[in-house]
Amino acid sequence: MNNNQATINKLEAMRLRGLARNLDKNILLRLSDSSWIERHQIVLLTGPTGVGKSFIAQALGHQGCMYGFKTGLLSLRKAL
């Protein structure tokens, strides 16, 4: 695993250090089991530039891969 790889554990560590103050632990835990993928749900991350939306998306995708899912990251601009 790349040392710069976004992971759920790194998100939790950031939250505990106060770097991700608005990241709700309960939501993070619910998303980390990847059951939302099994239910064919979409996670939409919104916020201003630089708040970590891509990092969170990559961490969730990485977690999904750990559960055996194929994942992808798509920006809204590319989706439209």
3 in a structural domain: no
The domain tally of the chain equals 1
Tell me, yes or no, whether 21 lies in a domain. Answer: yes
Look up residue 54 and give its two tokens: 């891509």
Residue 60 lies in a domain: yes
Comparing 31 with 20, the larger pLDDT belongs to 31
Q: How far is CA 24 from CA 34, 42, 43, 68, 77, in A?
A: 16, 18, 14, 25, 27
Tokens of 8: 């759920």
pLDDT at residue 24, as a whole number: 82
Rounded distance between C-alpha atoms, residue 69 and residue 80, angstroms: 24
Name the pTM for this structure.
0.80
Domain contains 2: no
pLDDT at 3: 57
pLDDT of residue 60: 92
d(C-alpha 31, C-alpha 19), whole Å: 19
Q: Is residue 1 part of a domain?
A: no
Domain hosting residue 39, numbered range = 8-79
Give the pLDDT of residue 45.
87
- Is the pLDDT assigned to residue 1 strictly greater than 60? no
In a domain, 55, yes or no: yes
Has residue 38 been placed in a domain?
Answer: yes
Residue 50 has pLDDT above 80, yes or no: yes
* CA–CA distance, 17 with 6 (Å, rounded to integer): 16
Q: What is the DSSP letter of 67?
A: T
Instruction: Give the pLDDT of residue 22.
Output: 76
